[in-house]
Structure 1
Amino acid sequence: MNIVILTGAGISAESGLATFRASDGLWEEHRIEDVATPQAFRRNPVLVHEFYNQRRAKARLARPNAAHQALARLGADPRHRVTLVTQNVDDLHERGGSTGVIHMHGGLETGLCAACGHRWEAPAIMGPYDRCPACARQATRPDIVWFGEIPYHMEEIAAALEQADLFAAVGTSGNVYPAAGFVELAAAAGARTVELNLDASARTSVFDEARRGPATQVVPQWVDELVG
């Protein structure tokens, strides 16, 4: 069976990482407009780098939880072809045992040169005056897709959705496009759709099935049903 899984911040919340939107509208005590847009980076690259340096440090201290590990177990089952797409920028899926994870919003563990597009393993601390290892330009930025930028690997994701027999969204808010529209693309291809979330998302009504509860509980239960 071809399975496409989309994960969001809810799957990493139980590992101690903050979800994308807090009730007060702040993200790690910052306004989104100040740390997660190209305009913010142009205005204050030092602040933006400091923000992602802090997030990188927190992510490296976090540990994969039972939901990450369950999805890795599903991905290793030879009876299924699993495409795991994440909106998260941490590497908990990989450390939980998954391979070939598609990071549509980039990742904290790589640096990106805004001049030549080169990527490299991110050190603990990055800054705007760091030189690119490839072209030596002072054009270092986090390898993160910000608001107003195009997510990575969209053609690969679309191709997987077109072949999906089952689509699952785990820990997603349903507020951020284009990921929020994946359920319709999968359904149009004939896939059954299921949402696994702590609470109802903005797109719950579109899914064939919804399961409620902490990711560390509902995801392993769901995987058990699929792998037997």
Structure 2
Amino acid sequence: MTSNAQRFTVGLTGGIGSGKTTVANLFGELGASLVDTDAIAHELTVPGGLAIDAIRERFGAGFIDASGAMDRARMRSHVFGNAGARHELEAILHPLIRSQTARAAEAATGAYIIFVVPLLVESGTWVGRTSRVLVVDCEEEVQIGRVMRRNGLQRHEVEAIMAAQASRFARLAVADDVIENNDGNAALPPLVQALHARYLALADAAG
């Protein structure tokens, strides 16, 4: 296996409801190694997670639930619209996410690595760190409808979440590759397979 500095890597992102997780899993089924930053962040905040002590110290015991995990609902409510609190939480989580992401990448055995980074654009640190950026994109009305059905939210709630994320334009501006996902999951496999073949060739060339 080549070193991560030489390995072919893809940063995969997309807005809420775009289908990025489904796309990532399809790549995983084809043999790509997936490193999911959201999953890593979750692991950091479960009982005994590496971020729990720092979160308790900074935000108080009220943000840790009875199981010893971060109270996600309370934290989400606290940081949403509160930039100072959000930055404080990010200051705890982001260095740990970076180190755990690097560790997962070192252990990856696939032909190439896909870093699943929902906030790739928003973080300001991912663009340029991967060989290519893949954006899963869809029309905003499709996006809103999916999230309303999936999460049981009202339209204004979905729009507020979308407003807090990077715009569709900002994501597409950094994309090397785009998967359009307006037609549902059944249309995705051939699109993923075509890109997977391309990525295998690029990974081999980078080898």
User: Please, what TM-score do these two structures have when normalized by structure 1?
Assistant: 0.39
Q: Which has the higher strand share?
A: 1
| Larger RCO, structures 1/2 (Cα 8 Å, 6+ apart) | 2
Q: Which has the higher helix share?
A: 2
User: Please, what TM-score do these two structures have when normalized by structure 2?
Assistant: 0.42
